[in-house]
Structure formats: C-alpha cells, structure tokens
C-alpha cells in the first residue's frame, strides 16, 4: 500500500478542512501556494473551494472568493446547503465575494486586469479562490493572449501572498490536464478529481489525486471521495480498485 509520508521539513500549512485531503497533503496546502483543482463538471471543484474557504474563515482569516460561475444569491444558497453561513462573514468583511458576469465578459476582464490587482495590493488577504478559470480562458480566442492573461493573473495572486485555489474544467482527452493545458504549468500544486467507471458495471464513483504539490511530501495514490450534505469526505484508508 502506498502510505502517506510526512514532511521532513516543517513548513507553514493552511488546513483545507477536508480531513482526508489534509492527510494526503501531510497537513494541508503549503501556505502562499497556488493550487489548481482540475476536474470534469460535477466532480465537486466548487465544493472543495467553498469548504476550504469556510475553514479559513473559521480560523479568522481574510478570504476572497472570485466567482465566475453563478450569481451571489445562488452561491450563498449553495453554501448554506452545506451548513456554511458565508453571509455573516461578508457582513464582517472577512469574506470578500467578487461575482463576475460571464454574460458581460468585457467588464469582468477589466475588473480582473485592473480592480482586483489594485484591491489585492491594498488589502491583506490570507486565502483566495477563483472559480472557475476556464470560463475566463474561453473568452480569449488567441493562444498568446490566453497565456499572457493566465500568467499575469497567477502572478497577481502570487504577489498577494495568499494561498490560492483556482478551479478548472479538465481536458476532454486528459483528466489530469486543464481544458487549455496552461494552468497546471503556472501553479505550485495540482489536485485532480475524476469520475471512475469500472469495466462491466454501471456504477460511477469519484476519486481524488494530488498530482503535484511543491515543498511537501504528499500521498501519490488516488483515493475515493464522496460529496455529502456536509461537504467533501475523502476515504484515505481505502484503495481504489
């Protein structure tokens, strides 16, 4: 069995709030890292992101959640279904929710390139989520423009010093790769979420793998997980198949 090894060197970690994932990471995300969460539609990328932010808020950290998927009302409603009361943190200015519109992408890009960097330069932020980066990439038809945008955005988050999660749809051909194959080369860590359909059955399950995580030892095998009414639960003691 592929055992989870512990760090030889102690570094600051941000606990994810997902017990099984924290064990796979030997304690959590290395602080100040940029981490990509890559998976197909419905694998729980947003759930992991919200669960991480919820735990950071419980530790009195200042968080930014940049949302390009759904409106504020739907986002808050989804969080409340898991028992995460984000509204009170927004009122206390511990959670800054930035909702961008995919319908008005020009304005959203202006905010991403101008207002958001200025905000992060002037405000001390501990944790950031960008959900989902794929929608932003899709509106850049030029490969060079897409790469420049992604590089600049990741540099903005890195310079903020915050631990940052960026979610991305997986490539149709490769579940370990982001849709456009750029994000995974700009971040410090990659977590892949996948559907598993065993041959000869109609059952579908989910598995999680820490593909890469700099500056920490991590478990290199995949582990099954479920999306429950309280969030993501990872079965670290179980082998897949």
Spatial separation of the C-alpha atoms in residues 225 and 234, rounded to whole Å: 4
- Pairwise pLDDT comparison (113 vs 39), residue with the higher score: 39
Work out the number of other CB atoms within 10 angstroms of the CB of residue 116. Answer: 22
Of 106, 137, 104, nearest to 38 (Cα)?
137
| Predicted confidence (pLDDT) at residue 7 exceeds the cutoff of 50 | no
Of 77, 56, 74, 20, nearest to 221 (Cα)?
20
pTM: 0.89
Query: Tell me: the pLDDT tens digits for 54-71?
Result: 999 999 999 999 988 778
pLDDT classification of 215: cutoffs 50, 70, 90: confident
Spatial separation of the C-alpha atoms in residues 40 and 44, rounded to whole Å: 9
Q: Are the CB atoms for 74 and 131 separated by under 8 Å?
A: no
Of 9, 16, 6, nearest to 225 (Cα)?
16
Query: Tell me: the pLDDT tens digits for 219-236?
Result: 888 999 999 999 999 997
> Taking CA 178 as the corner, what is the angle to CA 29 and CA 49, rounded to the nearest 5 degrees?
40
Distances (CA, A) of 55 to 49, 52, 79, 80, 239: 10, 5, 13, 14, 27
Domains annotated for the chain, with CATH where assigned, are 13-234 (3.40.50.300)
| Predicted confidence (pLDDT) at residue 1 exceeds the cutoff of 60 | no
pLDDT recorded at residue 103: 62
pLDDT recorded at residue 5: 44
């Amino acid at each position: 069995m592929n055992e989870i090894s512990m760090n030889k060197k102690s570094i600051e970690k941000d606990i994810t709030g997902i017990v099984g994932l924290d064990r796979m990471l030997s304690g959590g995300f290395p602080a100040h890292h940029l981490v990509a969460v890559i998976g197909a539609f419905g694998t729980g990328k947003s759930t992991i992101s919200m669960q991480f932010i919820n735990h950071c808020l419980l530790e009195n950290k200042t968080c930014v959640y940049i949302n390009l998927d759904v409106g504020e009302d739907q986002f808050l409603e989804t969080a409340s279904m898991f028992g995460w009361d984000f509204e009170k943190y927004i009122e206390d200015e511990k959670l800054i929710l930035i909702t961008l519109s995919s319908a008005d992408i020009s304005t959203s890009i202006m905010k991403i390139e101008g207002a958001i960097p200025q905000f992060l330069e002037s405000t001390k932020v501990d944790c950031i989520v960008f959900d989902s980066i794929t929608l932003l990439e899709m509106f850049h038809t030029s490969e060079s423009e897409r790469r420049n945008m992604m590089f600049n955005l990741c540099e903005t988050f890195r310079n903020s010093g915050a631990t940052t999660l960026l979610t991305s749809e997986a490539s149709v051909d490769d579940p370990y790769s982001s849709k456009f194959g750029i994000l995974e080369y700009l971040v410090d860590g990659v977590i892949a979420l996948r559907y598993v359909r065993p041959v000869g059955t109609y059952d579908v399950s989910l598995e999680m793998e820490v593909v890469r995580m700099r500056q920490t030892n991590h478990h290199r095998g995949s582990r099954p997980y479920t999306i429950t009414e309280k969030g993501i639960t990872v079965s670290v003691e179980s082998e897949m198949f």
